[in-house]
């Protein structure tokens, strides 16, 4: 299992209109659930993973 740091599988976030957030999908971020670029090391090893970027539309 890639989630060897024991992070919760689900996170609830409240985002503001106009806010953009990059969420980690590799489970390696030191700022989890936010992306810190840790996936780059995985990509160097041949994996193709990156963050999911969420932008909240203005109301």
Could you give the CA distance from residue 59 to residue 49 in angstroms, rounded to a whole number? Answer: 31
Give me the domains of the chain, ranges plus CATH numbers: 19-56 (3.40.5.90)
Yes or no: say if 33 and 7 are a contact pair by the CB < 8 Å rule: yes
Residue 1's pLDDT band (cuts 50, 70, 90): low
Q: Which residue has the tokens 């609830």?
A: 12
Question: For the residues 25-44, what does the mean pLDDT come to?
Answer: 92
Could you give the CA distance from residue 48 to residue 46 in angstroms, rounded to a whole number? Answer: 6
- Output phi, psi for 41, to 5 deg: -65, -35
The answer to whether residue 48 scores a pLDDT higher than 70 is: yes
Mean pLDDT is lowest, of 1-5, 42-46, 48-52, for 1-5
**Residue-level pLDDT at 38:** 93
């Amino acid at each position: 299992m890639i989630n060897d740091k024991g992070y919760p599988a689900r996170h609830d976030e409240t985002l503001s209109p106009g806010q953009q957030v990059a969420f980690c999908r590799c489970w390696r971020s030191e700022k989890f659930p936010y992306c810190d670029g840790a996936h780059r090391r995985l990509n160097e090893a041949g994996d193709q993973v990156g963050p999911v970027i969420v932008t909240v539309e203005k109301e």
